[in-house]
Amino acid sequence: MITRTSAALQSDSTSPDDPASEAVPLTPRQHRQDWQAQLRDAVRDPHELCRRLDLDTAWLGGAETGHALFPVRVPHAYLARIRPGDPDDPLLRQVLPLDRESEPVAGFVGDPLEEAEHRPRPGLIHKYRNRVLLIASPACAINCRYCFRRHFPYAENSPSRGQWETTLDYLRQDTSINEAIFSGGDPLASPDRRLAWLAERLADIPHLKRLRLHTRLPVVIPDRVDSPLLDWLAATRLQTVMVVHINHPNEIDAGVADAMQRLRGAGVTLLNQSVLLRGVNDDVETLARLSERLFEVGILPYYLHVLDPVEGAAHFDVPDAEAVSLVETLRTQLAGFLMPRLVREVPGEASKTPLA
């Protein structure tokens, strides 16, 4: 959900960039090694996932089937928020592979959104007026079963510095662009030196006002919000916005709350996008608690996306009519500023398309 663009980028990649497979250099910045070590140590084996969570062996076959289609990847900091022994845990459902992922369902396809035509430069998607997406990293910290990215291999890459220069030229030339959005994969899977370099180059472009990051990493591994990240975020002249991705209130533990506070301290405006998911957050009570909990930790609800019809994720689908009805009831339960906008991404439209 953070991005739908990885397919388009496979072809023009040059520098392998899976941070989880990079050797971690010995540096005095211990905290920085820490998040990279956590990425590397993520659970990537369905047996280990089931064992760690005390799941009945009945789940293992399905987990192996799903894992063969899209590998398991769950960092320990996220695993720690899952209730052991509960196959219905709303966080577990987002990461546990199932047999059903291999069942074909009409309308659910490998590539539900085609964006290649909006890619004027490597690593750049210019689809909406005033703002562009920069694919800062193709890797993710976690593999969410409902994700559009599930059909793209991790051997993807991101643009090299040289390729970024042509992207930066494009931004310099189009004075209508006032916002750059770091996306991915997950842009915060990139090392801070690369992100800081890019942020500095962007800040040199006079018509740019804002830098936005679409990321799930501070939620999955709160230690990602360390001083190297905070330093470059606080230093840029651009206004900074972070759109995190949280689907259920149980994802917000004390570590996430602290990370959000550090980000706010660095002057970052915090917003959240969620995906409406069957069996995870498809009820008014959960969505209301999510909004309330987000605000407690300084995040405003932004978007509630309906599911992209991606192959293997049909069991998460909530029909539009039900989604609209949920959101209408939610509106009677929440302050107006705690209401997310229910949207879908329709190829060819000039913005996200509101459903309610």
Residues 182-201, one symbol each (x = binds ligand SF4 by CB under 6 A, - = not), give ---xx---------------
Q: Strand 341-344 and strand 300-305: pairing?
A: parallel
Q: Which stretch binds ligand SF4 (CB under 6 A): 142-150, 198-206, 335-343, 346-354?
A: 142-150
- CB of residue 238 to ligand PLP, shortest distance in Å: 15
Contacts of 338 (CB under 8 A, 6+ apart): 291, 292, 294, 295, 300, 301
Smallest gap from residue 43 Cβ to ligand SF4 (A): 15
Residue type, 290: L
Shortest distance (Å) from residue 345 CB to ligand SF4: 13
* Alpha carbon distance 67, 99 (integer Å): 9
Work out which of 9, 95, 124, 144 binds ligand SF4, going by CB under 6 A.
Answer: 144
Scanning residues 242 to 281, which ones bind ligand SF4 (CB under 6 A)? 245
Which of 36, 143, 167, 273 is close enough to bind ligand SF4 by CB under 6 A?
143
314 binds, among ligand PLP, ligand SF4, none (CB under 5 to 8 A by kind): none
Q: Where are the beta strands (DSSP E) in 58-123?
A: none
Interior angle at CA 158, CA 157 and CA 163, nearest 5: 130
CA-nearest of 231, 128, 142, 144 to 181 is: 128
Kindly tell me which of 3 and 190 has the beta carbon lying closer to ligand PLP: 3
332 burial level (CB within 10 Å; 0-12, 13-18, 19+): exposed
Query: What token pair was written down for 268?
Result: 């970052």
Q: How far is the CB of 7 from ligand PLP (least distance, A)?
A: 13
**Which of 1-9, 77-85, 101-109, 122-130 is the region at the interface with ligand SF4 (rule: CB under 6 A)?**
1-9
Place of tokens 């140590």: 41
Closer residue to ligand SF4 in complex, CB, 144/343: 144
Query: Known binding site: residues?
Result: 140, 144, 147
